[in-house]
Amino acid sequence: MTVYGYARVSTKGQELEVQIEALGKENVEYIYKEKFTGTSTDRPQLQELIETLHAGDKLIVTKLDRLARNTKEGIELIEQLFEKDVKVHVLNVGLLENTSMGRFFLTTLLAVAEMERNMIIERTQEGKAIAKQNPNYREGRKPTYTKAQLEHALSMLENHSYNQVTEKTGISKSTLIRAMNKRKAQKLQ
Of the CA atoms within 13 Å of residue 80, those in its CB half-sphere come to 16
In the chain the first and final C-alpha atoms are separated, in Å, by 74
Active-site residue identified among 10, 155, 161, 174: 10
The reply to whether 100 belongs to the active site is no
Distances (CA, A) of 66 to 38, 69, 152: 7, 7, 50
The identity of residue 122, as a single letter, is E
- What secondary structure letter does DSSP report for 95? E
The residues assigned a catalytic role are 10
